[in-house]
Amino acid sequence: MKFTPTLTLASMLMLVSLGAEATLQAQTPQIEIDLTATEVISQGRTGTCWSFSTTSFLESEAFRITGALHDFSEMAAVRVIYPEKVERYVRYQGKHQFGPGGLSHDVTHAAAAYGIVPQSVYGGGQEAGAYDHGALDGLLEVMAEELVEQSGRIDPAGFDAVEATLDAYLGALPESFEYNEKEYTPASFRDAMGIDPDAYATLTSFTHHPFGESFILEVPDNHAQGSFWNVPLDDLEESVHHALENGYTVAWDADVSNKGFSFSDGWAIMPETAATKAEWGTLDAMPVEPLVDQSMRQSAFDSQENTDDHLMHIVGRAADTSGREYFIIKNSWGQGNEYGGEQFVSMAYFRHHTIGIMVHESGLPKELQKAMAR
């Protein structure tokens, strides 16, 4: 008599689970570099990806320097920068970018002007991960416009009202605090974490300015008119590889308003050769991507196909079964994908859609450090 085993429900569920795990492993690139970062969190309903990404970057920097991982407040930098945005908007008589956006150099500027504080000390007035700045952003815009309309008779008390509004929504910034049984000021805590705001370099790659020089990058969220060092595209990509290979993470500004960027799938690729999303939804079905050169990238920027959309944190590198490499990014949209909120960014996508990067000057190749006089 032939014996036919009977599978229990628990056994069947276990087999399904093992199969799903095997499929996921087959679709996930092999991790080559995985640098330390804090866990993925959500920026909520705010336009503050610039602070979430760069604060995460500074957390990894503090770990690299001190060997200890700390959770820094994202909203502290927001609280520092917002009054400056209002003042700058008024000084430009309303003819300047105004809104919640920003770039990585806003966070290092806040660290220089004020310092850094732990998340446990300054939470920003709302529950972490559930931030909603819709009302605040709208109110600040109204207040800024009202100040502009007072041209010739601007009352300084109007700026005091902006500060009071920010204190009401986000909370007043602490002048000192206790953390891990020690007393700090924001500046002394920044220094204890090993963060030197002047040590961070911003790079980009566009041909409408000369290579080997810095220029003010023409994107709307560069409200502070920060300068970027301009390098050829190959050098920009190599700078990130070099940084990761030497233990440095990278803050990344990119265009994400295109069909190749899929948070839910955990990918960011150039899918022009795929007829449907189903053809690039898994590793085994990834299409051949186009070769991205300098002119292709420049054309996308000049035509405004590529815009300054979103800032993220590059924390590692991986390779798929075909040998294609991907940068691993930490996003700030929560952990709602198969990779816990991280994504794999192909080299083609990086080359085409990058707006700019920030990295510690010591993480750059030596010849580039020399050229930049860093």
Q: Where are the domains of the chain?
A: 29-371
Q: Which of 83-87, 220-224, 240-244, 269-273 has the lowest mean pLDDT?
A: 269-273
Residues 194-203: tens digit of each pLDDT:
999 999 999 9
Mean pLDDT in residue range 67-93: 97
Average pLDDT, the chain: 90
Mean pLDDT in residue range 109-138: 96
Q: How confident is the model at residue 281 (pLDDT cuts 50, 70, 90)?
A: low
Nearest Cα residue to 229 out of 215, 241, 240: 215
Residues 338-363: tens digit of each pLDDT:
999 999 999 999 999 999 999 999 99
- Per-residue pLDDT at 283 exceeds 60: no
Sign of the four-CA dihedral 320, 324, 329, 333:
negative
Contact 168, 95 (CB under 8 A): no
Residue 128 pLDDT:
85
Task: Please give the CATH topology (third level) of the domain spanning 29-371.
Answer: Cathepsin B; Chain A (3.90.70)
Residue 19 pLDDT:
40
- Per-residue pLDDT at 254 exceeds 80: yes
Nearest Cα residue to 256 out of 335, 193, 310, 315: 310
Residue 18 pLDDT:
39
CA-CA-CA-CA dihedral for 152, 106, 71, 166, to nearest 10: 10
Highest mean pLDDT among 12-26, 34-48, 280-294: 34-48
Residue 265 pLDDT:
87
Residues 215-249: tens digit of each pLDDT:
999 999 999 999 999 999 999 999 999 999 999 99
Mean pLDDT in residue range 271-297: 73
Contact 80, 173 (CB under 8 A): yes
Mean pLDDT in residue range 116-121: 98
- Per-residue pLDDT at 68 exceeds 90: yes
Q: For the chain, how many residues are written?
A: 374
Q: In Å, what is the CA distance from 372 to each residue of 103, 105, 106, 202, 212?
A: 20, 17, 21, 11, 8
Mean pLDDT in residue range 58-81: 98
Residue 15 pLDDT:
36
224's CB contacts (< 8 A; 6+ apart) are: 84, 88, 102, 103, 105, 106, 109
Residues 128-183: tens digit of each pLDDT:
889 999 999 999 999 999 999 998 898 899 999 999 999 999 999 999 999 999 99
- Per-residue pLDDT at 14 exceeds 90: no
What's the distance, CA 12 to chain centroid? Answer: 42
Tell me how many degrees the CA angle 266-289-234 measures, rounded to the nearest 5. 95
- The Cα 158–Cα 144 span in angstroms is 9
Mean pLDDT in residue range 203-219: 98
What SS3 state is found at 271? Answer: coil
- The Cα 77–Cα 95 span in angstroms is 24
- The Cα 293–Cα 111 span in angstroms is 36
Sign of the four-CA dihedral 262, 75, 129, 97:
negative
| Whole-number percent of the chain with pLDDT over 70 | 89
Residue 27 pLDDT:
63
What pTM value is reported for the model?
0.90
